[in-house]
A and B are shown apart, each in its own frame.
Chain A
Amino acid sequence: MTNLVPGLGIARGMLLTLRRFFEPKATIRYPEEQPEGSPKFRGRLQLLYDEYGTLKCETCFQCAQACPIECIDMGGIDTKNRYHIHWGPPETYGERRDESALRRSGRPVPDRAYEHFAPIDLAPVDAVMSEYDYDPRHLLPMLEATQAAYGYLPVAAIRHISNMTGAWYAMIYGTATYYGHLRFEKPADRPQADALAANRPPESSYRDALAGSLAGRGAARRRPARPRSN
């Protein structure tokens, strides 16, 4: 209807620009005003090491799921030697890659023998979720109930919770890793996890790779690698 009145569109456009005329301006007068970065701004992506020489990354996936262009992929063993993790499109999985290429690039080479994703019976998780009405706001009780049902938190169960409740996998995983009483491995799998940890390349190899890729003046002033405390 409004399209039938000639000139109405022009009038509306003129009104819009007139409103903009009085609105606050977006310009930051740079030398006098320093722009404040976004509160979530973290600068360049870089894996950091703590004072003991271990990677600080908790593999909570939150960086990967927040990345708008999905440029972050993760694969291999998590830093707590617990189990095999994946994030990213399948073609970026470490397992799909050529082993020697991974070795050249300084990435950890995955253990092909490891079965990372054992299928489980999902009926107990479904029962837990229907009890909480599939509401991700009751995530913690849900996870506790799941652990009570299985004895630990299987990755497949977490995936299933993510699918059914609509909560991000990274969010559930981040919650689960935050609480110490939630486990990710069967008590019986502990020896296997330790074996994997022994298999893992030492932290210094990561740091050497990192220093090599950053190769600048920083490389010369680098602290010598310390043996891991455990």
Chain B
Amino acid sequence: MTVVGRAWNRLTLPGKLVFTIVPFLLVGAIVVVALVVIFGQLVLDILAANLPIVRFAVAATAVLLMSVPTAFLIIYMEMKVIALMNLRVGPDRVGPYGSLLSVVHGLKVLMKEDFTPTGADRIVFTLAPVVVYLASVMSLLVIPFAPGLFGQDLNVGLLYFFAVGGLSVVGLLMAGWSSFNKYSLLGGLRSAAQIISYEIPLTLSVVGVLILAGTMSLNQIVLHQSGSFLDWFAFKQPLGLLIFFIAATAEANRTPFDLTEADSEIVAGFATEYSGMRFGFFFFAEYVNVFIMSALLVTLFFGGWTAPFDWPWPVHVDLNPGALGVGLLFLLALGPLVGTIVLAAPFWIARSSMPTWQALIIGFVLFNLLVGLGVFALAFLGWEWVVGLFWFLGKTYAFVFTFVWMRGTLPRVRIDQLMGFAWKWLLPASLLNLFVTAGAIVALGR
């Protein structure tokens, strides 16, 4: 056996893996660098020439990538909050406080059999979840998350939102029709009836906001509400807010209007024949819808990403790390070490029973927490994206919590109560709201 062979045999399995992978990585890195050097400028030029397309592609990808964790978060929130309201503990086994349970749910859905019933229209059956999910996700494109942080600032943003959101009905009908199952079809028709009925008061209730703001661009509507929280449209359109909230609850299929897939009564309605990830898409779309409806509610009536009162932020923080010179190098090298030891020292001194390594771990965690908080505070102060996201997500999740809270409280309505409420109460009320708003605008001459 040669020297090389003996050395190879002495390596552990991870060592062998690393020795196999490292050359490939080296070669790959060299190739990538070469490609960037040769074609980089060309690619950049092409991208710059087609900026709208690039922007759309990036935004769509980002929104798609964002939607799944959002759904996970809201699913976890729903499980936990409803459990706490039922005097239970809820998920507490997977991850810290059970927070990874919804990820496990997602993986479970992925591992299940992807079944297509005999006689189903395969193409439509496969496309239906995609349509439903994309209809939800595409609506996210026009929502302004922070100043300058949005997919596209359409001047017909609100119209686009309702148009794309309305596509989900098509998806539901596709699912119901293609399943080759009378219960699915009935469920699909039921949900189509519900969603189309509530689309009308939902759309009419925001017309008052449109008249007040004079624009359909969601970004402009948010800017219109900047200032203190008294400028929010919630105070100028309380009836519109109420109608929008109720209609949005029905639109997102939430309790008390979740007849579409009343999980305790019927077999999931239009999704009866779905399993595996196709069902997962319906499931995620439901929760993405909750997020979207809360986000739109916040955008239209609660000032979007604007702070509720006049903050002195964002202030400009003048930090120039480069000015430290060699000191920066020392700071980066010694900062964590010194910070950890300094933070560990009090524990090590105060509690003689604590081993050194435990104190060091505590110090390390504390140091990371402090630095993380510091970085966040710095970003919060200096970067308006962070401030905007902070307020926007804070308000949005407050309403997501409200939706979950309602699910933990309210019983489900009957289908005739549902339809009667939409046509007999919400529609006249939204028309009244519209006329009063328009009349007030004319009377005040603004």
B410 partner residues in chain A, CB cutoff 8 A = 10, 13
> How many angstroms from the CA of A10 to the CA of B410 in the assembled complex?
7
Give the contacting residue for A14; candidates B84, B87, B89, B406; CB below 8 A. Answer: B406
Q: Tell whether B408 is near chain A: CB-to-CB under 8 Å.
A: yes
Chain A: interface size category? 10 to 19
Contact mask for chain A residues 5-38; partner B; CB cutoff 8 A; 1 contact, 0 none: 0000010011011101101011101000000000
> How many angstroms from the CA of A13 to the CA of B406 in the assembled complex?
9
Q: Are B81 and A21 in contact (CB under 8 A)?
A: yes
A14 partner residues in chain B, CB cutoff 8 A = 405-406, 409
Chain B: interface size category? 10 to 19
Q: Are B89 and A27 in contact (CB under 8 A)?
A: yes
Q: Are A26 and B92 in contact (CB under 8 A)?
A: no
> How many angstroms from the CA of A10 to the CA of B84 in the assembled complex?
19
Q: Tell whether B51 is near chain A: CB-to-CB under 8 Å.
A: no
Contact mask for chain B residues 398-409; partner A; CB cutoff 8 A; 1 contact, 0 none: 000000011011
B288 → chain A closest CB, angstroms: 25
Contact mask for chain B residues 75-89; partner A; CB cutoff 8 A; 1 contact, 0 none: 000000100111111
B408 partner residues in chain A, CB cutoff 8 A = 17
B87 → chain A closest CB, angstroms: 5
A17 partner residues in chain B, CB cutoff 8 A = 85, 405, 408-409
> How many angstroms from the CA of A18 to the CA of B81 in the assembled complex?
10
Q: Are B405 and A20 in contact (CB under 8 A)?
A: no
**A13-B410, A21-B81 are known contacts. Are A29 and B405 too (CB-CB below 8 A)?**
no
Give the contacting residue for A20; candidates B85, B92, B406; CB below 8 A. Answer: B85
B212 → chain A closest CB, angstroms: 25
**A10-B410, A13-B410, A21-B81 are known contacts. Are A27 and B405 too (CB-CB below 8 A)?**
no
For the complex of A and B, list the 8 residue pairs with the smallest distance between their C-beta atoms, beginning with the closest.
A27-B89, A17-B409, A17-B85, A26-B87, A13-B409, A20-B85, A21-B85, A21-B84
User: A residues within 8 Å of B by Cβ?
Assistant: 10, 13-14, 16-18, 20-21, 23, 25-27, 29
Besides A10-B410, A16-B409, 16 other CB < 8 A contacts?
A13-B409, A13-B410, A14-B406, A14-B409, A17-B85, A17-B405, A18-B85, A20-B85, A20-B86, A21-B84, A21-B85, A25-B87, A25-B88, A26-B88, A27-B88, A29-B89
